[in-house]
């Protein structure tokens, strides 16, 4: 499905949904939470776009994306950037399925965890 079709679907759902300019190829869907709907992008694909389109290294793309795209709040309809479990890197540097992997071994540079902090809570106040 092309971006124009996807954008039309989003506009039909909620005309206030925001999209991320320059990342059209990474738009994978939308998500609803409570009374709002947001566009959802494949985070890994966004990084690949920055590397191929803008000639960034993986580290440069990660830093730029984390600060300028993922970290840009444009209101309650700001897009979300999905990280698939299969794209997470384990502490030994491997990627892939997390079956049988201790969650403490999973590294996601966008969401560093401080396990000593009581502020790191999951949904409903549960520890992740």
Is this structure's pTM higher than 0.85? no
104 is written with which tokens? 């403490």
Confidence grade of residue 99 (pLDDT, cut at 50, 70, 90): low
In a 3-state reduction of DSSP, which class is residue 48?
Answer: helix
What are 13-47's pLDDT values in tens digits?
A: 999 999 999 999 999 999 999 999 999 999 999 99
């Amino acid at each position: 499905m092309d971006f124009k079709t996807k954008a039309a679907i989003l506009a039909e759902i909620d005309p206030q949904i925001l999209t991320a300019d320059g990342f059209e190829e990474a738009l994978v869907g939308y998500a609803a939470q409570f009374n709002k709907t947001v566009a959802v992008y494949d985070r890994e694909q966004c990084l690949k776009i920055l590397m191929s389109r803008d000639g960034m290294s993986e580290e440069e793309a990660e830093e730029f994306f984390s600060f300028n795209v993922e970290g840009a709040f444009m209101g309650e309809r700001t897009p979300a950037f999905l990280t698939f479990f299969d794209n997470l890197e384990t502490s030994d540097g491997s990627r892939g399925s997390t079956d049988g992997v201790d969650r403490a071994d999973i590294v996601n540079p966008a969401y560093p965890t401080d396990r000593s902090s009581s502020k790191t809570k999951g949904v409903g106040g549960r520890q992740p």
